[in-house]
Amino acid sequence: MAVRAAALIVAAFAAGAPAGAQVWRASWTASPAPSLQAGPGVPPEFVSPVIANQTIVQVIRLSAGGDAVRLRLSNEFGAAPLHIGRVTVRLLDAAGAKTVGEPRVVTANGNADFTVAPGSPLVSDAIAIHVPARAQLSVAIYVADEKVACTCHADGQAYTLLSPPGDYTTRAFTPASRSPARPFLTAVEVQGAPGRVIAALGDSITDGYMSTPGADRRWPDFFAARLHGAADVASAAVINVGISGNRVLAPDPVAIFGVPALARIDRDVFAMTGVTDLIVLEGINDIGSAPETPAAALIAAYQQITARAHAHGIKVHLATIPPFEGADYYSEAGEATRQAVNAWIRNNPGDGPVIDFDAVIRDPLRPKRMRTDLQSGDWLHPNDAGYQAMADAIAIDMFRK
């Protein structure tokens, strides 16, 4: 009864709030992970930048819009206080090429200069700025410390610009370097009309690895665009809480891909404002990296994720794992586990019809591997067209209820 009551409360909040009500909702996310240094087993694109008295500029694309925004900054993997000298946000034009208006200074507890405690996130004050749905924001963060380890989303499929030394939050600069990491910024919330918030929990396939950098062509991006084009669900937000290399059950041996899904959903899903739905696509790294992983262990994990989400009134939608024959870590034992897990998901899809990514992206003549025209070249990750096909396979009707 408690789960049902919680679900009814969330549904009423999302669909039946008073006319004209303004609520806060997560509109964009990048799940944080520890700072990574170059070393054995660490791909170059996952090496975290070392930031020293510099301004970092990131461009992010919101899903839902609103009349105010607030930022969530993270020092959750930092051992020392993080001194932020100033943060500004700017709205970009429809083409994402030019800024619109003057930069807005972001404050926390009324202060433009503030500290983020070690091991902790920080939520900023509200910034009064109208942002349309699917708008792009430029976020500039001046880190005043001389040298700081980065709480980063390692590979954001977009480039962060790093300035020469100094505060460039209100002026242009010639970048000293750039990084695929997303440092410190982990969420942007919007204040506006109520609507659903759909969190996509996953690994590199959800993170959009091998998609076109800077083009927002991950499957959650394509799905957000689909929803925005459908009048009755256009207000929905889609937040990407994928981490490349992430596993469901256990951390990877060299600890470069974040804590496992079972351990991070409280931070990355339940702590995000207004989440109503959770799409789960994860498990291929458990299977590929440890082929002895029993299907029963992954199934039990999905059941736990579902139970914990239901306790928060969140609907769960499970997705089948795409094929991976041809990938570096493919094995017949892993394929048998994938087939068993997918068979269970098809019979236990959660709170709606199954999201059958496997059926959409597999080669009908060689169903253990992806279609050639939908894979990126490594036989594990889709290309842009594959990510689009995945987004198109999700039944929008289940988000109308």
Residue 7 lies in a domain: no
What confidence tens digit (pLDDT) does each residue in 322-367 have? 999 999 999 999 999 999 999 999 999 999 999 999 999 999 999 9
Distance (Å, rounded) from C-alpha 293 to C-alpha 249? 9
Residue 31 lies in a domain: no
Q: Domain span at residue 60?
A: 47-187
Q: Are residues 156 and 246 in the same domain?
A: no
Provide φ and ψ at 255, rounded to 5°: 55, 45
- What share of the chain in percent tops pLDDT 70? 94
What confidence tens digit (pLDDT) does each residue in 141-193 have? 999 988 888 899 988 899 999 999 999 999 999 999 999 999 999 999 999 99
Query: Of 346, 350, 345, whose CA–CA distance to 398 is shortest?
Result: 350
Alpha helices in 112-249, H assignment, sequence order? 204-207, 219-228
User: Which residue among 187, 212, 230 closes a domain?
Assistant: 187
Q: Are residues 256 and 334 in the same domain?
A: yes
Q: Are residues 56 and 129 in the same domain?
A: yes
User: Which residue among 127, 158, 187 closes a domain?
Assistant: 187
Q: State the pTM of this model.
A: 0.93
Q: Are residues 363 and 225 in the same domain?
A: yes
Q: Report the pLDDT value the prediction gives residue 94, as an integer from 0 to 100.
A: 81
Residue 11 lies in a domain: no
Q: How many domains does the chain have?
A: 2
Provide φ and ψ at 232, rounded to 5°: -80, -10
Q: Are residues 258 and 285 in the same domain?
A: yes
Q: Are residues 234 and 355 in the same domain?
A: yes
User: Which residue among 187, 214, 229 closes a domain?
Assistant: 187
Residue 23 lies in a domain: no
Q: Is the pLDDT of residue 105 over 80?
A: yes
Distance (Å, rounded) from C-alpha 98 to C-alpha 103? 12
Q: Are residues 146 and 277 in the same domain?
A: no
What confidence tens digit (pLDDT) does each residue in 36-91 have? 777 777 777 778 888 999 999 999 999 999 999 999 999 999 999 999 999 999 99
Q: Are residues 132 and 238 in the same domain?
A: no
Q: Are residues 150 and 197 in the same domain?
A: no
CATH number at residue 306: 3.40.50.1110
Q: Report the pLDDT value the prediction gives residue 7, as an integer from 0 to 100.
A: 42
Q: Are residues 179 and 210 in the same domain?
A: no
Residue 301 lies in a domain: yes
